[in-house]
Chains A and B, each alone.
Chain A
Amino acid sequence: MQDIERFLQSIEGRALRMAQLATRNEADALDLVQDAMIKLVNRYAANAPEEWRGLFLKILENGILDWHRKESLKRRLFFWRHEQDDENETTSEHSYAHQMAGPAEELWRDQLGERLLAVIEHLPVKQQQCYLLRSWEGLSVSETAEVMGINQNSVKTHFFRAMEKLREHYAELAQEHATTRQEVNT
């Protein structure tokens, strides 16, 4: 197996999840990942393998941000179609609350993670991608700035705002869990 193929295989799943969280659509996410793969192979296959990760993430981020620009334009042009989508989204968020009924701690942990992912999914795209690159991909502030094509102060601001929202939801979820546990015990 070629080095570049091994690299793509190692990153494709994570890339797909990042794109899925940003687009909330598997087909679009797959297209974005495939485009990033094609661009990396066609343009940067000759580069040093240690550069591939940064380049791939940069291409993917550009694709995600472009997708969002086009989507927001579509939303403005065809606003009547999206009102219905938003209603459906709210319903799916509400259905999450029902899954919280499980009393087991491990199940709660899993559900907490899932619910935090749902919060990440609904963050503004730059906050979301900043959080994923910093927290999940483990990039530094300067690396994140380079990948996203923004300055380091913007990275810090986006990350801080994302963390603020997650803290807010985490506190609510922890409170909810404490109440549920108390009810089970009594």
Chain B
Amino acid sequence: MKHDNDAAIQEHTQRALNRSVTDLPPATQQRLHEARQRALSPSRKAWHWQPMVAMACSLCAVALLWWQIPSVSTPEDPTLFTHHNEEAIDAFTYLTTLDETEQEIVADLEFALWLSLQSDAELDDDVSKRG
């Protein structure tokens, strides 16, 4: 809804605003000129890249340090670790393929091995007591 005074209000404000721009004090005009020159200066644009270059350098330094420091959790001989694992897995796979009779034989063999180890240990104890 347009009012009667709207055009007059807009005219008065526009005139006042335009006059305030043309009547800007010389010091303010000088500051505006300096601001414009600063915005257009090529050194400002170059400066914009500096933080990015610094960031890239620090990332490279961190990456280098990461490779230099040995990891604590890595075993000393990784091949040995892998070898033991493979052996255990092979044995387990082999045992699952045996039938009942073969499993009984393996159990008997394990018992015989344990018994011989026990008797060896008892013999060693007797010798040490007598000695």
Contact = CB atoms under 8 A, between A and B. Distances in A.
Nearest to A33: B35
B45 A42 contact: yes
Contacts, number: 92
Interface string B32-71: 1001101110001100100000000000000000000000
A114 B28 contact: no
B20 A117 contact: yes
A110 B12 CA distance: 8
Interface in B1-35: 3, 5-6, 8-10, 12-17, 19-22, 24, 28-29, 31-32, 35
A38 B44 contact: yes
Contact of B5 (A5, A33, A170): A170
Interface size class of A (residues with CB under 8 A): 35 or more
Contact of A12 (B6, B17, B32, B48): B32
Contacts of A167: 3, 5-6, 9
B15 A113 contact: yes
A33 B36 CA distance: 9
A33 B17 CA distance: 17
A125 to B, nearest CB: 17
A116 B39 contact: no
Contacts of A2: 40
A55 interface: no
Contacts of A117: 13, 16-17, 20
B32 A30 contact: yes
Interface in A108-132: 109-110, 112-114, 116-117, 120, 132
A114 B17 CA distance: 8
Interface in A1-34: 2, 4-5, 8-9, 12-14, 16-17, 26, 30, 33-34
A12 B28 CA distance: 11
Interface in A29-55: 30, 33-34, 37-38, 40-42
Interface of B: 3, 5-6, 8-10, 12-17, 19-22, 24, 28-29, 31-32, 35-36, 38-40, 44-45, 48
Interface of A: 2, 4-5, 8-9, 12-14, 16-17, 26, 30, 33-34, 37-38, 40-42, 109-110, 112-114, 116-117, 120, 132, 135-136, 163, 166-167, 170-171, 174
Given A14-B21, A17-B17, A166-B9, 6 more contacts: A5-B40, A12-B36, A37-B39, A38-B44, A136-B17, A170-B5
